[in-house]
Amino acid sequence: MADDFFRDETVLENLREREKELNCLYKIDEILSNHQLSPAETFEAVVRIMPSGWRFPDLCRVKLIFNGVSYQTTGFVSSPISELCDIRVGSKAVGNIEVVYTQVVPISKEGYFLEKESKLIHTIAERIGQTAVYRQMRSVMDAWELSRPQSEFSSGQSEWEVIVNFLLITDQKVLLRICRKLINHLLLNGITEASEILSESKPFSAGQGEHVNFPTTKEPLEDVPAICEKTFTFARKHLSGEEITLNVKNWIQEERAYSLIKAINSVPPSLRNIIEQIKRYRKIVPDEEQRYSPQERWISVSLINLILSGGPEFVNVAKQYISHRDFFDIVDRIIIPIHSQGTLGGKGSGLFLAQKILEKESANYPILKSVRVPKTWYVVTDAITEFLQYNNLEELNEQKYKELQESRIEYPGIIQLIKNSVMPPEIVKSLSVVLDDIGEVPIIVRSSSKLEDHSGSTFSGKYKSLFLSNRGSKQKRLEALQDAVLEVYASVFSPDPIQYRMERGLLDVHEEMGILIQEVVGNVVGRYFFPLFAGVAFSNNEYRWSPRIRREDGLIRMTAGLGTRAVDRLSDDFSILISPGQPGIRVNVVPEEIRRYAPRKIDLINLETDELETADLREVLRECGEQIPEVEKMVSLYERDNLLNKSRFDINFSRDDLVVTFEGIISGTETVRQIATILQVLSEKTGMPVDIEFASDGKNLFLLQSRPQSFSEENAPAPIPRDIPEKDILFSANKYVGNGVIENISHIVYVDPDGYNRIGNLDDLKAIGKAVGRLNAKLPKRQFALIGPGRWGSRGDIRLGVNVTYADICNTSILIEVARSRTGYMPELSFGTHFFQDLVEAGIFYLPLYPDEGNIFNEAFFTKSENKLPALLPEFKHLEDVVRVISVPETTFGRVMSILMNAELEEAVGVLSSEVAERRPARRKPRYDEQIRDESAWRWRYHMAERMASLLDAAQYGVKAVYMIGSTKNGTAGPSSDIDLLIHFEGTESQKADLKRWLDGWSQALSEVNYLKTGYSVDGILDVHFLTDEDIGSKDSFAIRIESPTDPAYRLKLLGE
Amino acid sequence: MSKGNYNAFEHAQAQFDKVAEIIGLDAATRELLRQPIREYHFAIPVKMDDGTVKVFRGYRMQHNDARGPAKGGIRFHPLETVDTIRALSMWMTWKCAVVDIPLGGGKGGVICDPHNLSDREQEQVCRGFVRQLSTNIGPNRDVPAPDVMTSGKHMLWMMDEYEALTGARYPGVITGKPVGMGGSLGRTEATGYGVIYVLREALVQLGIDITKTTAAFQGFGNVSQYAAQLYQKLGGTIQAVSCWDNTDQTSYTFRKAAGLDVDFLFSITDSFGSLDKEKAKANGIEILPGEAWLEQEVDILVPAALENQITADNVGKIKDSVKVIIEGANGPTAPEADKVLNERGVFVIPDFLANAGGVTCSYFEQVQCNMNYFWEKDEVMEKLDTKMTSAFLAVYELSVNKKLTMRDSAYVISINRVAQAVKSRGWV
């Protein structure tokens, strides 16, 4: 074939022919599927168009005979150069098509007619046949529908007879199956005589009377008219005409799905075939939903299983909301390789289900009617398998079984390898169609893997999502899209998701990567593209800022521009937080506070550079605020002490101090209620709390993603054992509890409520805050707890709580407020409001304690344990009655405190746990500045520090001693920790320079090894502090560590020691 | 450590007693001025969003209105106490008297946490507050203003309720309203500019040419930004500005010997009042530790950020070049440090004189509302200048004549003015 292609005179010629044929077929398909046309109109149009598909349209004439009626192009004459093809309905010929050339045409080596042209005429004949069947069936149904009112009075016999007679002519196979169903129906109705037909008629008698364990004999097909005659005669005796008609009608309806069912049932199922059959099926089913039918239910559920997900939980919910009809819309937007057995993947299926739930529930909740889902295309999960095969890259599948270290080294190479591979041409073609359909609007290419987004394993942030500006020439856009898809494919082999799967026992489960190609919601604003707002919302609010907010009131994190900023906690910016169940209760209420915690940056697509970038929100507003649709709903104007919501005519974008508050959206639109309803409906219908992503262009709210709300690793509800000995419990709580586990708390800073209350002068009260700030800088980060009376961060009347700012507490792991009624008043706790958003972004927990409400509170432990304050901060010794620093391991023979919090139970406990090693397996997601407390991380560091010291020539470098301090020494170092060393140095400047170089080499090498082991890239792992004799004499801040009572430095053995 | 609860009111009374002793005030006047002249304690029932009713406690203390209608903020705080409000109302009396504006002192509060209240509920608290007090406040009786956790929007609700009850428009019943709704222009700059008007007069008195001076500012917030702006405009050289860095959770000093340009600093400030370190460095600005602002070889220090910044510990680090310290913030100098500075002959201008520009502007807002005629910004600033200048000169003159520190002189002058008023009225 390929040879012919090139041997022919011109390639171009061939291509033109091909194009003609396709055009012709396309037009004919269009005519046949137009149900508005009468048969005569249809056939006339067909003969008119057909010549355009042949080599010499001007000389080509067509005649079509159907049911004895003939249609032909003007000037048709019989000719020796002719080709004829029968039109069949079922197995019966009902007409034919003839194509002729009216005069001699140049002969090709295939003959007067090309091979392709012969195929074309056959295809057209076949399509006409199929259409005839569908149309006739339809007209029968319609006739039946019309005659129904009378049928109650008339016998109704004529109706089913019409159908049966028609089938007898058109499709005996269908009739045979209907007979079988009729017999079964009779048997079910207790008319046992029906079995006689079975025994008499061979096609049905298979197995009758034979041994069950013996293979049935295959018998030849019998005469269908005879069986039909017998069956219906029999049925007439026992059933009313109406009943027969009704059943026959239903069975015919079911017959339409026959090829779809065949496709679903084929082994192995071919997704492409199923999709083709759905496309065909959707043309012939009636528009309205019919009453319950087991067959339709079976088709629906099968399609859910095959196309979406086979997970029983998913199917159970999905089957209530997704019928086979719902697939009609998306089948045109699924990209499938030839032999695919893939699905849409987790994200794709989740979003599709959510969309369908919201569509159906909008009848009950009209507010949902305007919620949209962006135009989405799907690349099925196993396209990646096809891709790997096509490029002979199957070996990559082994990647997951390699040492993490190895796969980390190889990963950059893999990305390049994949990006330089070729997409199968078929997929490239489909992607090209996608681009034509979407047009030049920005798109996002998102992962939708099989394992992703199922309850308990959300893979959030593990696989890639890539924004494309999708502008420029088609070629450029297509390349960018392919590149993005390949990059998402590459992320399957990234060590991070592999590690994630390993930790969750999902490594051996086969992972495949589907892709979602979604239009990005937003507007072109100047040289940028971004939505007015976007964000995430959760059914359960794990960050309650007021006792009035219930957990089920939910949480929205909203930000300007692309939602990328709302998804993760930010270290240097804030999102707007709203509890959709209590939208009136806001985190920040004072204008200054609102301004302070307002979003200051925006993620957007820069249409000039075609890149996703983070821009300064104020600058964007200044540059193109005027052009942002509905901008007045996004910003408020800040005037000293006042935040004003102004109309856009009153805003001067170049001059005014604008703060993003979304006040106009929150109180002026139904957006918050919409999101609240989405959360409520989805969690109610799926039976679990959900986590959604949304965006808005200012006009409509779009749902971008929906999945079960999983607990981020640090916010999972902690199991609280019931058998903790009471002596090990330091405190318990039963109100306003969040979720989480904090382990390895080595120090407790306890500000004694009674002591604090006794302080008589303002300076001492202020000094307490200072002491806390100093301890914050001194104690091991995230390994101490702050426990104090009333409101941490009180500013006005500081008797009510310790006067600290966020900087004074930013290293704690948890902030605990104690409300004691016996100190005269029951303080209303702050819930951390003074720095609530800071706490959220830093992942610092908050817990209120009510010791006088029947909770455990081991006061003696807090007030009687040895107080380390004088040793740590001699200058604050006078406060030792009030501020108590407890080293838990020293007080409890090496134990540490853990705090277990469970919001579901509204319970929390602080317990003494015996060993670091008793922890649950390390599962926590690393925070920006925090580490997984991984045993191996510190052991390795400890060993390397000892090893390095043992190679250090003290005399050569002028070193007197080397000490280790900090997390490595304490066995708490994580993958991002430093190794802190104190070097007692007495050499010359040049020795010092040499020593620094020597250490620097070690530092770089160790940090490289650390990266390979853990994926944490640290710039130099050694943190070295030099001390001189003088420093030690004057007890500078590091020198005191050498003989510190709390956390003494550990002396390392040097070379030769 | 002394025993017993710290009590703000007792503290304020002790401070008053000390000055009363200096002036030699008679017992009856002392007794009258040691406490509020009127106190209102009341309940505000509010129907909450969920249909329940919650009863809030509200207070308004009028410490003294002999010199004119009481003036002072309304605070929303969950742990508000009667004594705190009493102390603050007394403080307002002195503050108005020192700048010689015809107003007395007052303060109010509601025990509530707006973080737990929706906007509608807060509105009900505001309206309820005014309903309980409508006959006891008013443009000629007592004029509230925003304070802790209250803002212009609360003031407008209160004004509206007052006007609804009295049946006429009285924008002068309350201050702190947005411009266009009865607010005054110039409020943003008022405190900062006031600081520099006072500084300018002080330099004149000390015989120093402002254009030849250098200064270091602590903070770059509401007060400091505008103080620095005016100081530069008058020809002074800003050598250092310290400010809080929200990312690093610490403060830094930004220094440029040749002088920092305020407009440039404005352009690199974010909504936290943090300056962008990178952009500053690129501009040739040195970044030093937060405390370094205090150690600069400058003529003037302007602590305008937090209280308790100049302490016994760091007062020694202040260079001999420093001639004037003007307190833009409340209470930036600890008493021990104050003593040291006095001994060293540094001219310290006390906070409640230096930063009285804010309350003066509130007074202007009230005046403009009462005559229903609003001034242009220039006019506001001009009148502010006049007021601050004469207030300073009065305190300065007294300090010279009676050999008092500026701080003591300011207290003496204000308490004396109030004492004179109550006597003139024949109250005592």
Q: Return residues 181-210 of B near A (CB < 8 Å).
A: 183, 187-188
Nearest residue, CB atoms, A828 vs list B2, B113, B250: B113
Question: Half-sphere exposure (CA, 13 Å, Cβ side) for A1039?
Answer: 12
Residue A512's SS3 state is coil
Phi, psi of B281 (to 5 degrees): -60, -45
Q: Does B11 touch chain A (CB under 8 A)?
A: yes
- Which pairs with CB-CB distance under 8 Å and at least 24 residues apart come from B420-425? B421/B66, B421/B67, B422/B29, B422/B32, B422/B33, B422/B64, B422/B66, B423/B29, B425/B66
Instruction: Nearest by CB to B115, from A589, A758, A797: name it.
Output: A589
Chain A contact present for B116, CB below 8 A: yes
B 126-165 → A contacts, CB under 8 A? 146, 148-153
Co-location of B71 and B118 in the same domain: yes
**Residue B23 is assigned to a structural domain of this protein:** no
Q: Does one domain contain both B279 and B413?
A: yes
Residue B346 counted as domain residue: yes
**Which neighbouring-strand residues pair with A902?**
A907
Q: Are residues B327 and B291 in the same domain?
A: yes
Are B230 and B337 in the same domain? yes
Residue B153 and residue B218 in one domain: no
Q: Does residue A704 carry a pLDDT above 80?
A: yes
Q: Is B353 part of any domain?
A: yes
Q: Which of A113-122, A1008-1017, B64-73 has the lowest mean pLDDT?
A: A1008-1017
Phi, psi of A939 (to 5 degrees): -60, -45
A200: helix, strand or coil = helix
C-beta atoms of A639 and B8 within 8 A: no
Residues of chain B with Cβ-Cβ distance to A583 below 8 Å are 118
Report phi then psi at A877, rounded to 5: -55, -35
The residue from B140, B173, B206 where one domain ends is B173
The total of other beta-carbon atoms located within 10 Å of residue A475's CB is 9
- Which residues of chain A are within 8 Å of residue B49 when distances are taken between CB atoms? 584
- Cross-chain residue pair A807–B75, CB shorter than 8 Å: no
Give the pLDDT score at A2.
46
- pLDDT of A153 reads 41
pLDDT above 70 covers what percent of chain B?
Answer: 98
Weakest-pLDDT range from A626-635, A892-901, A915-924: A915-924
Our CA-based measurement puts residue A404 at a distance from the nearest CA of chain B, in whole angstroms, of 34
pLDDT at A856 over 60: yes
pLDDT at residue B418 in the model = 97
Q: Give Dmax (Cα) for chain A.
A: 120
Question: What is the predicted pLDDT for the residue at B407?
Answer: 93
Judge contact between B90 and B16, C-beta under 8 A: yes
Domain for residue B179, yes or no? no
pLDDT over threshold 60, residue A1043: yes
**Contact assignment for B115 to A585 by CB distance below 8 Å:** yes
Interface of B with A in 31-60 (CB under 8 A): 49
Q: Are residues B162 and B188 in the same domain?
A: no
Nearest to B242 by CA among B258, B264, B265, B271: B265
Residues A559/A535, Cβ–Cβ less than 8 Å: yes
Nearest to A545 among B115, B119, B249 (CB): B115
Mean pLDDT of A780-794: 84
Can you tell me the ipTM of this complex?
Answer: 0.79
More confident residue, A890 or B173: B173
Residue A75 is predicted with a pLDDT of 83
- Rounded Cα distance between A405 and A1013, Å, is 5
Note whether B3 contacts A760, CB cutoff 8 Å: yes
Residue B222 and residue B148 in one domain: no
Point out the domain boundary residue: B173, B206, B227.
B173
Flag whether residue A416 sits within 8 Å of chain B, measured between CB atoms.
no
The distance of A586 to chain B (nearest Cα, Å) reads 6
B191-214 confidence digits (pLDDT tens): 999 999 999 999 999 999 999 999
Same domain membership, residue B233 and residue B159:
no
Answer yes or no: is pLDDT of B256 > 70.
yes
What's the pLDDT band for A891 if we cut at 50, 70, 90?
Answer: confident
* B79 closest CB neighbour out of A545, A659, A797: A797
User: What is the average pLDDT across A73-80?
Assistant: 85
Q: How far apart are CA B172 and CA B368, in angstroms?
A: 8
**Residues linked to residue A379 through DSSP beta bridges, in sequence order:** A335, A515
Cα–Cα distances (Å) from B283 to A782, B218, B230, in that order, read: 37, 20, 22
Q: What confidence category does residue A814 fall into, taking pLDDT thresholds of 50, 70 and 90?
A: very high
Would you say residue B13 lies in a domain? Answer: no
Strands (E), A427-570: 443-449, 465-468, 513-519, 523-525, 528-530, 533-538, 555-560
Beta strands in A351-424 (DSSP E): 371-372, 376-379
Pairing mode of beta strands B70-77, B38-47: unpaired
The verdict on residue B265 lying in a domain is yes
| pLDDT value of position B165 | 96
CA distance A541 to chain B (A): 16
* B149 contacts on A by Cβ (under 8 Å): 589-590
The verdict on B118 and B230 lying in the same domain is: no
Same domain, B137 and B193: no
Nearest to A640 by CA among B175, B356, B222: B222
The tokens of A863 are what?
A: 């007030």
Give the helix/strand (H/E) hosting B108: strand B104-111
Alpha helices in B36-102 (DSSP H): 82-98
- Do the Cβ atoms of A337 and A382 come closer than 8 Å? yes
If you average pLDDT over every residue of chain B, what do you get? 93
A585 neighbourhood in chain B, CB within 8 Å: 115-118
Please give the Cα distance from B59 to B75 (Å, whole number). Answer: 10
Q: What is the CA radius of gyration of chain A?
A: 38
The tokens describing A256, both together, are: 């339409």
pLDDT tens digits, B329-350: 888 998 889 999 999 999 999 9
DSSP A631: G
Give chain B positions within 8 Å (CB) of A879.
1
CATH number at residue B86: 3.40.50.10860
CB contact under 8 Å between B80 and A797, yes or no, is yes
Listed in sequence order, the residues at least 6 apart from A22 whose beta carbon sits closer than 8 Å to its beta carbon are none
Q: Does residue B169 fall inside a structural domain?
A: yes
Q: Which residues of A touch B148 (CB under 8 A)?
A: 795-796
Q: What is the pLDDT of residue A930?
A: 35
Peptide bond into A268 cis (omega under 30): yes
Q: Cα dihedral sign for B146, B152, B158, B163?
A: positive
- Four-residue CA torsion sign, A164, A165, A168, A169: negative
Q: How many CB atoms lie within 10 A of CB B376?
A: 10
pLDDT at B2: 38
Let me know whether B154 and B193 are in one domain: no
Domain-located, residue B28: no
Residue B5 pLDDT level (bands cut at 50, 70, 90) = low
Between positions 238 and 257 of B, the ones with CB within 8 A of A are 247, 249-250
Q: Distance between CA atoms of A324 and A274, rounded to whole angstroms? A: 12
A834 touches chain B (CB under 8 A): no
pLDDT value at A89 more than 80: no
Question: Is B277 known to be catalytic?
Answer: no
Average pLDDT over residues B378-393: 96
pLDDT of residue B314: 92
Whole-number pLDDT of residue A453 = 55
If asked whether residues B256 and B368 sit together in one domain, one would say yes
Mean pLDDT calculated for residue range A623-652: 89
Check residues A280 and A595 and name the one with the higher pLDDT.
A595
Report how far residue B6's alpha carbon sits from residue A765's, in angstroms, rounded to the nearest whole number: 8
Per the prediction, chain A carries an average pLDDT of: 81
Q: Which of B111, B143, B173 is the last residue of a domain?
A: B173
Instruction: Note the pLDDT tens digit of each residue in A729-779.
Output: 999 998 888 888 888 888 999 999 888 888 877 778 888 888 998 898 888
Token pair of B419 as six digits: 């004492």
Banded model confidence at residue A714, pLDDT cuts 50, 70, 90: low
Number of domains, chain B: 2
User: Which structural domain, as residue segments, surrounds residue B137?
Assistant: 38-93+103-173
pLDDT the model gives residue B258: 92
Q: Are the Cβ atoms of B1 and A640 closer than 8 angstroms?
A: no
- CATH code at B298? 3.40.50.720
Cα B266 to Cα A772: distance, rounded to the nearest angstrom: 33
Angle between the A404-419 and A495-503 helix axes, to the nearest 10 degrees?
Answer: 130
A585, A591, A791 member nearest B116 (Cβ): A585
pLDDT at position A6: 45
User: Please, which residues have CB within 8 angstroms of residue A816's CB and are 6 or more apart in sequence?
Assistant: A785, A786, A787, A788, A846, A847, A848, A849
Position B370 pLDDT exceeds 60:
yes
Q: For residue A617, give every residue at least 6 positions away whose Cβ sits within 8 Å of its Cβ, in sequence order, or none.
A: A560, A561, A599, A600, A601, A602, A660
Per DSSP, A531 falls in state -
Name the residue in chain B with its Cα closest to that of A570.
Answer: B247
Question: A1 falls in which pLDDT band (50, 70, 90)?
Answer: very low
Q: How far apart are CA A814 and CA A938, in angstroms?
A: 23
Distance CA A741, CA A744 (A): 10
* Cross-chain CB nearest to B116 (options A548, A596, A639): A548
HEC letters along A842-897: HCCEEEEECCCCCCCECHHHHHHCCCCHHHHCHHHHHHCCCEEEEEHHHHCCCCEE
| Active-site position among B71, B95, B107, B387 | B107
CB contacts, 8 Å: B78 with chain A = 791, 828
pTM of the full predicted structure?
Answer: 0.71
- Whole-number Å distance between alpha carbons of A533 and A660: 10
